Structure 1
């Protein structure tokens, strides 16, 4: 049996005041005497009253909901968790609440999540776009919902976008391996149709071409969506007649799977895209292309709040730089994945 939620009228009756006075107290408006506010506060606590913001905003069409949404690939990924915390910090400073959803890079799931957030009348959304088209967002945007893309651009959508220099970062990583004598460098990547992965693979190829190293497709592995798949891919590379002497891993999840699968005394050289917690304590410490999820999230949030505040300038594309951190896992020559 459901229990009826206390209403503003119930609070007003218990406190001996008008519903309008209760509304002013719970909304923090001035002009109510301390004694009256105290009586209302006591009634609110006694009855367990909670303000219904959704109903209030439906009544006041011009008032925002003080909520934004963040839509990411996978919140369990430490990279996106840090990004989410950064967005939340920026929102909290402005009195906003953040609703978060994970798409697992599935366009249908993305549409469902965005539809749910739109139905809740969020003031804006920060989205890590999936591989699908995003023309469907034009309707909620026309209705006043602001959108910013982060980590990847969206197909068919002209909005503010915050990314990093994925291609240049990957090229630098592979060039570093080449500089330490490696010619057979494997690429281990996520789904190739993800924009960041396409860019990082292009950077890998750029480095090979710049040093006149022929591309060898036997050294390329895509579709590695989990540490387990990354370990299996590593095993396949080790079984080659001429295995790679170095690996470029294109994100933190793949890097973790590869590191877990290295059990021989002479591991290959490795450079990973994305830093890892305690990477400097590995043996050898991990050399990485580091991007800053906190900066990505914070930059996207600031752009979104500027749009909510009334910024109507042309959409901007912000590209943040990566950092190349040399620690030791790539700085030796000619090791083999063979046992």
Structure 2
């Protein structure tokens, strides 16, 4: 049966509109509020209208009504916070959504609001984890863990994954945390196509954990399993892992092994001047000095990096060609004026001992 509300009872009209929204009768609530009242609509009317417009999917109308409610200092702060929270969520502004929905739930607790605020903190936690903001991710995800039952099953699985990934990033025992993450994503809860991207993300986190644990070979094994949209990110991490392998080999004086690893990187990306320069350094240390000098000379001809000129100077010193060494050091200092005093002193020493540069000679 229809319910008639006298225009002289605006509070009753607002309360009835709120009840209609709770019953899912948003259209009836909107019609009730649109009825011409005896007095001009106030900020409380605007707050309830914002809620109705929101539930009807009229985000622009909801936002306009919300601005009216704010401007008039509505007493219905819980309703205002609820609308603010849902609008922020629709816009993907999850931090604002979480704070507003927390305020709305604190003022007027409801199961629907509880689920919405938990979902908002869940999104905040995932976003902060993805950005590498460990403290903020931990804080947000801790709020969600306390109300995990408010999430749907797939989101609960994602929450467990996020907390495991957080451990990989932050734990003092990255190898153990990485093993736990790998065990998790191999479990039955993560099977099926809908979790394919999550599993690939888990492999990326696993690779990062192995890199933290100084196990770059294991990182490469994990990255080699990544498929789909994240394959490009995996290739980028794999380059970093191979560079670590090369640096580790070089530190152990396994110059041939370091050269193999850096050659792989240089062959895969000819524009990677760092890997080419490092390859030359490994070859030089391994006794393949002619090839090393060819690589450094090509880098100098290409204009980068300045260190290649310094390396050519060292190579020239080794074969006793001190004038060529002096010339390379001069180029190095011209290209890199902020370089340390060592190169500058070597230039001066050669000029003192051999007379290079005297009388304008070169």
What is the TM-score with the length of structure 1 in the denominator?
0.30
| Structure with more of its chain in strand, by fraction | 1
What is the TM-score with the length of structure 2 in the denominator?
0.28
Higher gyration radius (CA):
2
Higher relative contact order (CA 8 A, sep 6+): 1
| Structure with more of its chain in helix, by fraction | 2
